[in-house]
Structure 1
Amino acid sequence: MKTRSFLCLFLCWANLLNAQSKQGDTHDTTYYTSFTDKLVSRGFLDQRYSKLRLSDSEDGSNLTYKPDNVLSLGTGVSYGWFTFNLSYGFGFLNSSKDKGTKYFNLQSHSYSQKNIVDLFAQFYSVKPSFKTQFFGGSYQYVFNNKRFSYRAAFLQNEWQKKSSGTFLLGAETYFGTVKGDSTIIPVSNPGSAGELKNHTVRFYEFGPNIGYTYTLVIKQHFSVTGSLSVSMDYGRITFESDVGKNYKDGFTPNFFTRVSGGYTTNKWALNAIWLNDNIRMKGKDNARKLNIDNGNVRIIYTYRFNTGPKFKKKLRFLN
């Protein structure tokens, strides 16, 4: 029930933001071309990942909890404002997968002409009874949206023909829990972190972000896009141990990186994409730190089909 609820919520968010992209969708066609009137099909190889690091500079503890990263094969379509992708981690792609790890990793990255929305919902359970829950969301406004297309780089239903860049401005929020049956940091590690037996870490944060992105286009067809956003979030992290709670309120910076590169024509496109959201928090003494990386690596082949009057009439509600 929990998984279905989050899936419905994510699909509603993604399609709502894409629907808004059709309202006032005017742009400089010498910089990029839109294919929202065509049926855009795609096949892709996808790997989502999550990594959690706990460290203590006083005793030298530095532990990384990294569940299995499932390699998935997927397909999808876009038409008008609507985009739907479906992927599955087939056994022949993940023969070494740890059977003791249970996971649910849902990421939604929605790109309209003027808005970007990223949503995360993740649940991991790793033997012996180590569990994490993570939720978050980020919004950004694209200022130079008449000459710069995010959808060209990350959705392929547009084509950036001339180099261009843009500033980004928005806000974000994240919260989550890390739990262990006895201690998150093993007692065998010497020093205060191990001795306190921290069995639970809770955190939340929110704040503004600012960024810049640029697409370099070579001879119209080759392109490389790089995007970096920096936030200064205010939040609280709480370490719960056998002897009580240790918490800290304060500001910490986060970083969201996006990279895309590939080749585009009027009919098809081949792209490689990397997304990484880095979240950082510090404990009361500034020695104990929690870092979370969530990301996605994807290789995509896209083909665009022309649509006739009958097809457009049946799906006119998408335009």
Structure 2
Amino acid sequence: MTKRLILLAISALPYIQMSAQKADTDTLAMTADGNTIVRSEISERTKREPFFKRLMKSTYKVVKNFSRVDTNYIEPQKYNFTFMMQNTNTYESYTISSGSGNDFMFSPQPSIKIGPYVGWRWLFLGYTLDVKHLRNGNNKQEFDLSLYSSQIGIDLFYRKTGNDYRIKHAYLDHDRVINTEPLNGVSYDGINVGIKGFNLYYIFNHKRFSYPAAFSQSTIQRRSSGSALCGIGYTKHSLSIDWDKLYSIVSDKLGEDVASRYMSEGPDTKKINYTDISLSGGYAYNWVFAHNWLAAISLSAAIGYKGASSEKDNEILNFRDFSFHNFNLDGVGRLGLVWNNMKWYYGMSAIFHTYNYRKSQFRTNTTFGNINLYIGFNFGKMK
């Protein structure tokens, strides 16, 4: 008897599953003799819907699930459209060190961009004009995009340096006894850096903590809350430096005797390409310190594994040549301050990335980021 019941239960599983899947679309009717008839008019109408329409509905449900929040902590967006004016200030610096004690930091003039943005729900587009480099040409290329949902965020970036670098500071020996102040602020166009990649991260406490409230103004954080973060990242770096040109600058500003004594012949390589794959973890906190006001801070540290190839000897350090010496510490930091009453909003946000690459005779640090100032308003209230 027990075996028959088990067999009956197993044989009924497909029908139970089919009934569960059709529960939302089928209707039931009873005939005069007590038999049940399944009518699928609604299901048939669904099947007749165009594929694209069904795909859009499914996509909308997925996106909506990603946006579910605890309304005691987060007030969802009530408008369909937004218009915003934004000022973006871009900063970057590159530190290059050799094993003999030479340490140089290069930084270009900050870019100052202004432009309009328009948005519809999750789609946000804009254009900014670099007002600081309108007259003097510059071959710098930049692309930065950050997308935030309740659960997942992503940073996309692409950068290629220009030709307006200056020496921020310089040290020629480990003890730093040489006065290098005459080098500060000197123009140097012998460095070329490129970086492209992405950071993808997950917000654990996404029902009560809102990244969009701080960095895309699409929700409002009503009560303070924080969340742990985890993520993955991928970046590809390329760096080249004209060490001979740098030697000439040191010789001109500090004297040939100082240059010949303290300047090395250059690192083991004058050009290096390396790939960075990282795992990150951190914490973010939104502080609601007054009505409609929000201050946000987010810090993440990443363990990145570097695989590199140099131009000088074509040495390749790929992931098959695993070594713990190829691990380095990277980081991402975010700050935000915003006033938002759902109709109008204004504030500032900042995001900075830092990457490290270290070998016994060569070390680099890359830091870049943006500071944004904005004001905007929402319109087209959702029905």
State the Cα distance separating 1:51 from its structure 2 match.
1.8
Q: How many residues align?
A: 285
Alignment match of 2:96 (pick from 35, 54, 60): 54
Q: Which residue of 2 aligns with 1:122?
A: 159
Deviations 1:186-244 (A, max 9, x none): 47555574345742122111021111100110133221100000111111345544x77
Task: Tell which deviates more after alignment, 102-111 or 298-307.
Answer: 298-307
- Identity rate, percent: 19
State the Cα distance separating 1:85 from its structure 2 match.
2.1
How far apart in 1 are the matches of 2:60 and 2:278? Answer: 24
Structure 1 residues 300-311: aligned runs within 5 Å:
300-307=374-381
* Counterpart amino acid of residue 138 in structure 1: N
Residues 114, 229 of structure 1: CA spacing in aligned structure 2 closer, same or farther, 3 A cutoff?
same
Q: Which residue of 1 aligns with 2:107?
A: 66
Contact 1:36 1:80 in 2 (8 A): no
Alignment match of 2:197 (pick from 133, 136, 140): 136
Greater helix proportion: 2
* Counterpart amino acid of residue 155 in structure 1: S
Deviations 1:147-185 (A, max 9, x none): 111111001111111101111111011112112456586
Q: Do structure 1's residue 171 and structure 2's residue 232 form an aligned pair?
A: yes
Q: Do structure 1's residue 201 and structure 2's residue 267 form an aligned pair?
A: no
Structure 1 residues 272-287: aligned runs within 5 Å:
272-283=348-359, 285=360
Q: Which residue of 1 aligns with 2:146?
A: 109
* Counterpart amino acid of residue 304 in structure 1: N
Alignment match of 1:157 (pick from 218, 227, 239): 218
Q: Which residue of 2 aligns with 1:231?
A: 302
* Counterpart amino acid of residue 262 in structure 1: V
Q: Do structure 1's residue 27 and structure 2's residue 69 form an aligned pair?
A: yes
* Counterpart amino acid of residue 121 in structure 2: G
State the Cα distance separating 1:276 from its structure 2 match.
0.4
State the Cα distance separating 1:255 from its structure 2 match.
0.8
Q: Do structure 1's residue 87 and structure 2's residue 124 form an aligned pair?
A: no
Greater strand proportion: 1
State the Cα distance separating 1:128 from its structure 2 match.
4.5
Partner-residue secondary structure (3-state), 1:194: coil
**Unaligned stretches of 5+ residues in structure 1:** 1-16, 310-319
How far apart in 2 are the matches of 1:274 and 1:24? Answer: 24
Q: Do structure 1's residue 78 and structure 2's residue 139 form an aligned pair?
A: no
CA RMSD of aligned residues (A): 2.9
* Counterpart amino acid of residue 265 in structure 1: N
Q: Which residue of 1 aligns with 2:329?
A: 253
Partner-residue secondary structure (3-state), 1:162: coil
TM-score of the superposed pair, with normalisation by structure 2: 0.67
Residues 257, 24 of structure 1: CA spacing in aligned structure 2 closer, same or farther, 3 A cutoff?
closer
Partner-residue secondary structure (3-state), 1:144: coil
How far apart in 1 are the matches of 2:120 and 2:225? Answer: 25
* Counterpart amino acid of residue 41 in structure 1: F
Task: Tell which deviates more after alignment, 104-113 or 243-252.
Answer: 243-252
Contact 1:186 1:197 in 2 (8 A): no
How far apart in 2 are the matches of 1:267 and 1:229? Answer: 32
Q: Which residue of 2 aligns with 1:147?
A: 208
How far apart in 2 are the matches of 1:308 and 1:32? Answer: 17
* Counterpart amino acid of residue 132 in structure 1: V
Residues 121, 244 of structure 1: CA spacing in aligned structure 2 closer, same or farther, 3 A cutoff?
closer
Partner-residue secondary structure (3-state), 2:127: strand
Q: Which residue of 1 aligns with 2:82?
A: 40
How far apart in 1 are the matches of 2:119 and 2:111? Answer: 24
* Counterpart amino acid of residue 125 in structure 2: F
Residues 182, 245 of structure 1: CA spacing in aligned structure 2 closer, same or farther, 3 A cutoff?
farther
Contact 1:156 1:302 in 2 (8 A): no
Residues 19, 224 of structure 1: CA spacing in aligned structure 2 closer, same or farther, 3 A cutoff?
farther
Q: Which residue of 2 aligns with 1:316?
A: none
Partner-residue secondary structure (3-state), 1:22: helix
User: Between Structure 1 and Structure 2, whose CA radius of gyration is higher?
Assistant: 2
TM-score of the superposed pair, with normalisation by structure 1: 0.79
How far apart in 2 are the matches of 1:71 and 1:272? Answer: 15
How far apart in 2 are the matches of 1:104 and 1:202? Answer: 18
Task: Tell which deviates more after alignment, 120-129 or 43-52.
Answer: 120-129
How far apart in 1 are the matches of 2:78 and 2:246? Answer: 50
Alignment match of 1:291 (pick from 362, 365, 371): 365
* Counterpart amino acid of residue 253 in structure 1: L
Contact 1:169 1:209 in 2 (8 A): yes
Q: Which residue of 2 aligns with 1:14?
A: none
Contact 2:267 2:362 in 1 (8 A): no
